[in-house]
Amino acid sequence: MMTEMNTNNPFFSVIIPVYNVGKYLEECLESLLNQTLENIEIICINDGSTDNSLSILYEYRKKDKRVIVVNKSNGGVSSARNIGLRIARGEYIVFVDADDIAEKRLCERVWEEEKNTGGGIVVFGANIFPLKTVDNERWLIDTLEVKETVYDVNCEKALFKEKCSKPFLWNKCYKRDLIIKNSIWFHEDISLGQDNLFQFMVFPKADKVVFIKDVLYNYRCMRENSAMDRMRRNSEWKIQMHMLIMENVFMSWLGYGILDKYANELYTWCYYFVVREIEISSLPVEKKYKLLKSVETSMKQYGFVLQEEFIDLLESKEKILMSDDTVLVEGRS
């Protein structure tokens, strides 16, 4: 792994994982190099690209000393972001996806808000493009619209009250010390939804979270072979990743001492994040049942009491399976 740093005392560290995005990378980098706040470093982690992404990064490093290039073997977006965090020197961290575009005032506007409010996290609005891809993605549009508000106590409440608080990383700015001092890293075994888990780990540790309505980021929706694209095509993989995220959230919040405090909120989140995803999937009934039983086991392990809707769902699957005498229903004689 090779790392070259050319900047001094930046206000912001912009962290960009790069993997086979040569088609979009220049547009992304230009949007960052043209920021109205110039005191930034742009940390680009090439995660084993096989296209021309690395050569583009080297060209931009020659053009602007603020560009830092790390070249590593492929290990996934989480490992790339963790490397970026370890070498970042900015007071604030912004994560950018390499196929997206930052508005030119992103860093300046967030810097102003950080200085005025002292927010450990600043959440801002985002656009989606191209628009033709979002006809059936109303949830996505809603998620990126921000209602201006401030949380300065029990900041984890925002995860349940503000749609824009999760799942994405790139519509937020974080104080670097908030992440590093609390040893909050990306889970490298999770290949979908890392952003979501990160929010559940970092929000409870923040002293203040500020939500501003300024639209400062442009998200390229449903690029071919992106994680979002693969999620749409492989529901079982998506569900497995969601279950792993659920387990890690329960474990983290138990360690934080707030699992019981938010038991109702977490139960509702889990039901829609995992249980409903299993139910609406096109998976066979037997597979759905096994996944639901796994969720049941996990929830009971962490002290959750199953509610009627979940119990009814399990029983309906059992009845279907019991009608087929070739299928052994787990836990039933």
Chosen domain end from 197, 228, 259: 228
Q: Residue 2: what pLDDT?
A: 43
Indicate whether 331 belongs to any domain. no
Which residues are CB-neighbours of 35 under 8 A, at least 6 positions away?
A: 102, 104, 105, 106, 107, 108
Q: State the pLDDT at residue 138.
A: 74
Q: For residue 326, what pLDDT is reported?
A: 46
Residue 196 shares a structural domain with residue 88: yes
Q: Which residue has the tokens 């300024």?
A: 214
Q: Are residues 204 and 278 in the same domain?
A: no
Q: Are residues 252 and 218 in the same domain?
A: no
- Tens digit of pLDDT for each residue in 80-131? 999 999 999 999 999 999 999 999 999 999 999 999 998 899 999 999 988 6
Write down the pLDDT at residue 57. 98
What is the model's pLDDT at position 119? Answer: 87
Shared domain check, 273 and 150: no
Residues 246 and 163 in one domain: no
- State which H helix or E strand residue 143 sits in: helix 138-143
The answer to the question of residue 140 being in a domain is yes
Q: How far apart are CA 114 and CA 96, in angstroms?
A: 19
31 token code pair: 């949007």
Domain with 137 in it: 2-228
Residues of the chain whose pLDDT is less than 50?
1-7, 326-333
Final residue of a structural domain among 175, 193, 228:
228
Three-class DSSP category at 330: coil
Residues 305 and 265 in one domain: yes
104 and 12 together in one domain:
yes
Measuring CA to CA, how many Å separate 208 from each of 198, 203, 280? 16, 9, 37
- The distance of Cα 194 from the centroid of its chain, to the nearest Å, equals 5
CA distances for 114 relative to 45, 157, 283, 316, angstroms = 26, 20, 46, 51
Domain closes at, from 198, 228, 258: 228
Total tally of structural domains belonging to the chain: 2
Q: What angle do CA 289, 292, 294 make, to 5 degrees?
A: 110
Q: Strands 67-72 and 40-47, how do they pair? A: parallel
pTM for this model (two decimals): 0.89
Any domain includes 301: yes
Based on the fold, state whether residues 131 and 265 are members of the same structural domain: no
Q: Is residue 267 part of a domain?
A: yes
Give helix then strand counts, H and E, for the chain. 14, 10
- Whether the CB-CB separation of 243 and 293 falls below 8 Å is answered with no
Instruction: Indicate whether 67 belongs to any domain.
Output: yes
Same domain? For 293 and 317 the reply is: yes
Q: Could you tell me the CATH number of the domain that includes residue 140? A: 3.90.550.10
What local confidence, expressed as pLDDT, does residue 9 receive? 84
Residues 285 and 243 reside in one and the same domain = yes
Asked, for residue 256, whether it belongs to a domain, the answer is yes
Domain assignment of residue 333, yes or no: no
* Same domain? 275 vs 165: no
pLDDT given for residue 225 in this prediction: 55
* DSSP string computed for 222-254: T-TTSHHHHHHH-HHHHHHHHHHHHHHHHHHHH
CA distances from residue 171 to 179, 190, 217, 239 in whole angstroms, order as listed = 16, 20, 7, 24
Q: 178 and 254, same structural domain?
A: no
Is residue 107 in a domain? yes
Burial 287-312 (b: 16+ CB within 10 A, else e): ebbebbbebbebbeebebebeeebee
